[in-house]
Structure 1
Amino acid sequence: MMEYNLKKIFSQVTPGTVFREGLDNILDAGTGALVVLDANDTLEDLIDGGFEINCRFTPQRLHELSKMDGAIILDGNATKIKYANVHLQPDKSFKTNESGTRHRSAQRVAKQTDNLVIAISERRNRITLYKGDFRYKVKNLADIMIEASQAMKTFERYKHVLDRALQNITLLEFDGMVTLSEVVTVLQRFEMLVRIRVEVEHSIIELGSEGKFLEIQLEELFKGVLKEEENFIRDYINLGLEEEFGAAEVKERLLELGDLELLESENIAGALGYGRSAATFDMELDTRGYRILNKVTRITRKDTEKIISKYETLSKILELTEEELMEIRGISMFKARSIKKGIKRLKMTAEWEK
């Protein structure tokens, strides 16, 4: 499903678009249709019969032309009707698992030309999208809204779980009591939230203009999550095993894991560069401090890099005086004071929210 840009595919057929209005008119009339968006100009050899129109697209014209048996060919942006009542003759070497003639042709044309093909079933009263090997049955607006709302509730619940896990590990970081087990749990929470977000986004894309409120809500809830995950990975990645091994490589390893594989702690530990034995999970780890320091206002990311480059771990940084911090190039008295006060405030907040 991710082989294609889903947003681009759904953008032309989502509720609220002129093209979707035309498709819904056909659906409501129960006439059925086969519509091809010829973005690649690859249909010439597949077209037989019919007639050339070359007129501006309107929902009404699409509806009227659907009353004929043949396929309707539009341009790639669905702004112009090129042909109507044509018979499509795709190469039968392209396999199809559809049963109806219209849907079999639609699937073969989509595979052969990589164009977006829409089949509207008069018997099943359903719109099906095809593009390459991608196939999707479009849901009605009410079903999509219910699905999107449920997905958003799941996302909110997992965001709360992640926030609680981060609060817990923040306290452990200040106390110097973090083990690999806690690190794996938090990273697992991050990745589960990222994957749930993708599912919510799919529903929002299908809703089109009707999903604007949910889209704003999702963006607000997810704000800063990816950056915090990157900092978290940098805090605990095992740099001793591999050269040129960073947060991007860890993310790639995590993306390769299936949903069930993500639930296995050994796979998360392996992605971070640690061993997979049960004894390894009791290993104590000292955070480098990227996540904590990046929450301190008035210091830049560059300042954080300098501090960690010199002192390596958060435990050492916590012991520094303002004068010792000022010895680092670029750290002024104002910044040193902000670091000390900011870290103290973060610790108090974590304790208070527990």
Structure 2
Amino acid sequence: MEPETNSSAAGDAQVPEGASAEKEPTIEERLEEAIAITAPGSAVRRALDMIIAGHLGALICVGDTDTVLSAGNDGFPLNISFTANRLFELSKMDGAIVVDRDLTQILRANFHLNPDPSLPTSETGMRHRTAARMSLLTKALVISVSERRQVVNLYVGGRSHQLRGVAELMTSASQLITTLQTTRQALDHALLRLTTLELDNYVTLADVTTILNYFETLMTAADEIDRCVVQLGSEGRTVEMQREQLVGDMESEYLLMIRDYARDSSEGNAEAIREKLHAADPSQWRSPKRVAKVLGYDDLREDSVMVPLGLRTLSRVSVVREGMADKIVDEYGNLRELMDDIEQNPSRLDDLGVKNPSILADSLYRMWGKKE
């Protein structure tokens, strides 16, 4: 006989006809939330640190309380306010501790859980097996603290995440910051060179591939740092500031770079290309042929010359206001056509609404190195 499960009030509520149901969070989103509420600086993390320091074990269920309570028995009904100290003291008893989703009430202690033993799990210890099965049976976050190994595992939807210590996370973050620094320096140098090549009208597919590779390395390291920051909680503020300083607005510059060289230069297509590059194996970033294909070309060689629209270069000029670069590109077609015409016929820029066309021309020529 299958165990009876009772949904929470929110789960039982019927969606009115014509109304859209709230989108269920994915397991990845739920796991990210679980990591955030157990990060250093949180009340839950303070309790977990005390449990480990006291060489205790614990099994804690957070949320989906109706279903959790229907999957067990016995224990002590408490319904008391949640605090880190109370959670620690209650962990000295056997059984599970049941806490509401908002971490405001401790509902049960010394609660005996009886999840369906047929639910699959690769865990070996009794506490971890129970935690994994409860996370499959319910929508609760299940936290398991190993008394013997002194580690904490989070279980969401059958997936497990082991909490890492602050020292270990800071070491990883430091290594990633170093990667960001070296990559950003290389990228800045490559982009300066690219601007000159663009104005010389001699950018090759190999040049574009190299820079997209730098962008992806930078963004991948930034994503890893973001994950470290979430896990570091209140200890991650300095790391977050370093990350922001090094990455800055490079995300928008990356998209402008893609739009400059993609066959379809629309913003939506650039976003799609960005996602494809980010999802690809890093080795594919270094293949000009694969980069050409994702940009929408099938007949380019490594030494093929590519003509940029000029969106990235124009966006770096102070007199080009937001949205103006697109208008200029629509009018001229690409950066090369703009450079050929900019001195002979500056009134075209006036007509587009560019203030001080001479400053734009001067800025572009300075980037090109043709004027002092």
Fold-level similarity (TM above 0.5): yes
Counterpart-to-counterpart distance in 2, 1:67 and 1:119? 14
Q: Does 1:261 align with 2:311?
A: no
2:302 is the counterpart of 1:281: yes
CA deviation vs aligned residue, 1:154-191 (integer Å, no higher than 9, x gap): 12111122222212211211111101111111112111
Shift of the alpha carbon at 1:44? 2.9
Q: CA deviation digits over 1:171-215, x for unaligned, max 9?
A: 211111101111111112111211111111111211111110110
Question: Residues 280 and 205 of structure 1: is their aligned pair in 2 closer, same or farther, counting only changes over 3 Å?
Answer: same
Note if contact 1:155-1:193 (Cα within 8 Å) is conserved in structure 2: yes
Question: Which residue matches 2:313?
Answer: 292
Percent sequence identity is 33
Q: CA deviation at 1:308?
A: 0.6
**Which moves more between the two structures, 5-14 or 286-295?**
5-14
Q: Does 1:345 align with 2:370?
A: no
Deviation, 1:39, is 4.4
Cα distance, 1:134 vs structure 2 = 2.7
Q: Deviations over 1:92-131 (max 9, x none)?
A: 3321111111000111111221321110001001111111
TM-score by length of 2: 0.86
Match for residue 22 of structure 2? none
How far the C-alpha of 1:260 sits from its partner, in A, is 3.6
Q: Is the 8 A contact 1:230 1:247 kept in 2?
A: yes
RMSD of aligned Cα (Å): 2.5
Q: Deviations over 1:6-64 (max 9, x none)?
A: 54222211111111111111111111000111146431321211121111111221111
Give 1:299-310 correspondences, 5 Å limit.
299-310=320-331
Counterpart residue identity of residue 10, structure 1: I
Question: Aligned pairs, how many?
Answer: 347
Please give the secondary structure, in 2, of the residue aligned with 1:43: helix
> Does 263-272 or 134-143 show the bigger shift?
263-272
- Whole-angstrom distance in 1 between the partners of 2:124 and 2:314: 60
Relative distance call for 1:259 and 1:108 in structure 2 (3 A) is farther
Distance 1:269 1:261 in 2: 11
Q: Secondary structure at the match of 1:67?
A: coil
8 Å CA contact retained: 1:235, 1:289: yes
Q: Distance in 2 between matches of 1:41 and 1:269?
A: 54
**Deviating more after overlay: 336-345 vs 17-26:** 336-345
Do the aligned partners of 1:127 and 1:138 also contact (CA within 8 Å) in 2? yes
Selected match of 2:294 from 271, 285, 298: 271
Asked if the contact 2:166–2:232 (Cα under 8 Å) also holds between the matched residues in 1, the reply is yes
SS of 1:204's equivalent in the other structure is helix
Shift of 1:313: 1.2
In the alignment, is the contact (CA less than 8 A) between 2:143 and 2:153 conserved in 1? yes
Q: Which runs of 5+ in 1 are unaligned?
A: none
CA distance 1:301–1:210, change in 2 (3 Å): same
Query: Which structure 2 residue ranges, 5 or more long, are not aligned?
Result: 1-25
Task: Report the Cα distance in structure 1 between the residues aligned to 2:56 and 2:256, rounded to whole angstroms.
Answer: 56
Q: Give the SS at the match of 1:122.
A: coil
Aligned to 1:119: 144
TM-score normalised by length of structure 1: 0.90
Residue deviations 1:48-82 (CA, integer Å, cap 9, x gap): 11121111111221111111110001111322211
